[in-house]
Amino acid sequence: MLHELLLALLGFTGDFVLDNSSSARRRPSPAESVAAGDADAGPAFRLAPDLTFLQPSERSAIERLISLGFYYRELNRFATESRDLSWIQSSVDVSSPNADITLKGKVRKGSAYRRAIGNGIAEILSVYRSAVLQVEQNLLSDPLPILATVTHGLNKFEVLLPPLYELVMEIEQKDIKGGQLLNLLHKRCHCGVPELQSCIQRLLWHGHQVMFNQLNSWMVYGILQDQYHEFFIRRQVDRDEDNESAQSDVADKFAQKLAKDTSLTSWHSGFHVSLDMLPEYIHMRVAESILFAGKAIRVLRNPSPGATLQEPANQSQILKGSHRMQSFTGGSGALKELPNFSNISAEELLPQVEADKVDAMLKQLKHSSEFHKRLFESAVSSIRTIAANHLWQLVVVRADLNGHLKALKDYFLLAKGDFFQCFLEESRQLMRLPPRQSTAEADLIVPFQLAALKTIGDEDKYFTRVSLRMPLFGMKSSTSQKDLQKSNTPDLSSQGKASSELALDGWHSIALEYSVDWPLQLFFTPDVLSKYRKVFQYLIRLKRTQMELEKSWTAVMHQDHVDFSDYCKDRKNSSATQLRRLRTKPFWRVREHMAFLIRNLQFYIQVDVIESQWNVLQTHVQDSHDFTELVTFHQDYLSALISQSFLDIGSVSRILDSIMKLCLQFCWSIEHYETGANMFEIDHITEEFNKKSNSLYTILRSSRLAGSQRAPFLRQFLMRLNFNSFFETTARGVMNSGRLRPSTAGTQL
């Protein structure tokens, strides 16, 4: 009977111990176990009912012992199934259309974390088997074997095997794996039984071995080893590699472009932190540091593919830019100074010593018997610092980040004022006509090249990266000089409505593009470049408006001098000329009022906003050696440019657009002011400008803007505008007439 009992303790039933569970006939699925409820949750081993020679106390003790055999059998089944790799088919018929489906179905059943827990369960069961063997030896050596020997030898397992059985049942029924499994084990560790706590901590240690292996692969080599989607770092989009391989017959150029886009996407949005698999005892901040470190290591470990893919595209862009310039300059030697990453190796970007240091830190954590949260976070922070420093070295030093920042400031923020002044002068006559939808961009290339020939030297190696673009635009928004001459109607209400709804004119969509190569795409993302384009379009409209106001003054003053000369020569027959001179004087007060506002706004943006924020950014670039810090500083720089220029306030930006549009309409209208219709329209433009400028001043001086920290130099701008209280008086309604009174407006001059 005692040998029957020992066999039952190892899960083998017979005539003495019976298995009453349905598992003796058919093992139920986890879903069936859940549906069955708690009826089958308890031990299913029972003593045979015909054993009449046993006392009730002996039967109770034996049934308590044989329940351990049931728990052992179920735990052993779980460990065996979790560690079984027979489901992997060594040979798969790839040509079969269902091969991928079958293989994918098999892969989804696996779990590296559950296999690790199975290894831990097997360790505990091996200790249990050794205890059973020791009990058997004690029984054989004892001349009078008694049941108490068995009870005494296996007493400690009565507090271990039942909770472990409940644990594996919950894992199977809820299909728990990955980080969720670590969470479950971490919660079960907090119990009042030291032996059970030690066992579950050992299981958690086995689970952490898998996690640290994945961390090592990700943070040392930049490789995501997560076949079963259990790691908390996950790809943004699971790509079907088999489908990609089926596209091998596509042209090489398209394949290279696809690979380049994939490389950029993997940095910007290719990976993310999966909250479902993130253990609760790992903070989100730490997980994001792990995410960044792995992505940085991927970049540093694989420089050649990115450089090789970028090189042909870069050469084509350089040749395209050089052909533009060679028609005027005969070529430029500055192209030789462009950085070349084709010969850079991973060893240069990430020395093996640094990689070994990261590997040693992770191995030290892996070999620790317990998971120490503080040590883990400290190690992750150190690894992130190493990755960020080397990425900073690559982007800032090797790729000359500061030079590209300066180039973006020169061209997108109009720091090269002489170039854009020349460009606007060369294209002034062109922009007075409506843009042609099919050739607008090509028409602008010629004045753009002429301006570059006159102002850009051969030493500027960044100009070849700048290209002019004219995105698709709606012709209905065109209000150029030719359209103004056709739309001179007395319907003031419709004109006023149109002036507030239409854009500046048909040329308002002029934009610049900047070509960036690897690894600068990590810093200059499409979103960053779009913000630069947004600021550029605003600044170029402002500068064009300022130039038109100056040109109109120059042209009409020249005509005024001619008229005055004619008047002096023949005072008797020049009454019409003198009358025209008297009628235009109020217009010049309006023009000066417009120019005063535009000049101060331009000075505020270029000096108070751009230059001050540029100095702040340069200080950060010089002091920081962390790539992520630089990205943050640059984002703050762009955000400050947009917010302090009021581009993020819809009401202010619409008023500014309307003011610039009115200024252009005024400049084009005064050249034909002899007709009554034009006089009528100029009066309307003046009235609208007064309303818009007063509204602008009222909004800017509000406590929400002037009293906030979003625009620290706004008060200086308002002081320059209202140095003689002209704007304040007008905004309060003292001056309500449509046209400026000479006596009042004269104080502004």
pLDDT tens readout for residues 254-291: 344 444 545 566 677 789 999 999 999 999 999 999 99
CB-based contact 680:666 (threshold 8 Å): no
SS (H, E, C) 562-590: HHHHHHHHCCCCCHHHHHHHHHHHHHHHH
Q: What is the pLDDT of residues 377-427, one digit of tens each?
A: 999 999 999 999 999 988 888 888 999 999 999 999 999 888 888 888 888
Q: Give the tokens for residue 705.
A: 């803007």
Query: 118, 177 in Cβ contact below 8 A?
Result: no
* Nearest of 465, 382, 481 to residue 428 by alpha carbon: 481
CB 663 within 8 A of CB 689: yes
Q: Name, in order, each residue with C-beta under 8 angstroms of 27's C-beta and a sequence gap of 6 or more.
A: 77
**Interatomic CA distance for residues 546 and 664, integer angstroms:** 9
Residue 188, both tokens: 């079960």
At 18, which helix (H) or strand (E)?
A: strand 17-19
Other beta carbons within 10 angstroms of residue 245's beta carbon come to: 8
**Residue pointed to by tokens 């969720």:** 180
447 touches 430 (CB < 8 A): yes
Instruction: From residue 548, give the alpha-carbon distance in Å to each of 551, 557, 591, 670.
Output: 5, 14, 11, 12
DSSP per-residue string spanning 350-379: S-HHHHHHHHHHHHHHHHSSS--HHHHHHH
The closest of 634, 447, 612, 390 to 524, measured between CA atoms, is 634
- The Cα 606–Cα 645 span in angstroms is 10
Measured in degrees and rounded to the nearest 5, phi and psi for residue 511 equal -145, 165
Alpha-carbon dihedral sign for residues 162, 164, 168, 171? positive
Q: What is the Cβ-side half-sphere exposure of residue 629, based on CA atoms within 13 angstroms?
A: 17
Question: Can you give the pLDDT at residue 154?
Answer: 85
Distance CA 317, CA 484 (A): 39
For residues 659 and 696, the answer to whether their CB atoms sit within 8 Å is: yes
In 472-574, where does DSSP find H-type helix? 481-486, 492-501, 526-569
Chain centroid to CA 443: 36
80 by DSSP, 3-state: which?
A: helix
Report the candidate in 562, 629, 612, 197 with the shortest Cα–Cα distance to residue 392: 629
Q: For the chain, which residues score pLDDT lower than 70?
A: 1, 15, 17, 21-42, 45-55, 86-109, 145, 237-266, 304-346, 472-505, 554-586, 671-679, 703, 705-711, 726-749
| Structure tokens, 592 | 């000066």
Token pair for residue 700? 């800017």
CA distance linking residue 536 with residue 291, whole number of Å: 34
Which token pair is 664? 């252009």
Structure tokens that stand for 22 in this block: 């349905």
Cis bond upstream, residue 28 (ω within 30)? no
Q: How far apart are CA 89 and CA 224, in angstroms?
A: 23
CB-based contact 62:151 (threshold 8 Å)? no
3-state helix, strand, coil in the chain (%, to 5): 70, 5, 30
pLDDT score recorded for residue 551 = 77
Please give the C-alpha separations between residue 364 and each of 148, 200, 285, 361, 372, in angstroms, as whole numbers: 45, 21, 22, 5, 11
Say what the pLDDT of residue 88 is: 54
Locus of tokens 């199975």:
118
pLDDT at 288 (0 to 100): 94
In contact, 723 and 702? CB cutoff 8 Å: no
Q: CA angle 399-344-633, nearest 5°?
A: 30
Position 162: which residue type?
P
Classify burial at 214, counting beta carbons within 10 Å of its beta carbon; exposed 0-12, middle 13-18, buried 19 or more.
buried
645, 535 Cβ separation under 8 angstroms:
yes
Tokens of 252: 């090489």
β-pair type (233-235, 45-47): unpaired
pLDDT of residue 138: 83
CA 288 to CA 6: how far, in whole Å? Answer: 53
Length reported for the chain: 749
- Cα 675 from Cα 479, distance rounded (Å): 20
The alpha carbon dihedral of 631, 634, 638, 643 has a sign of positive
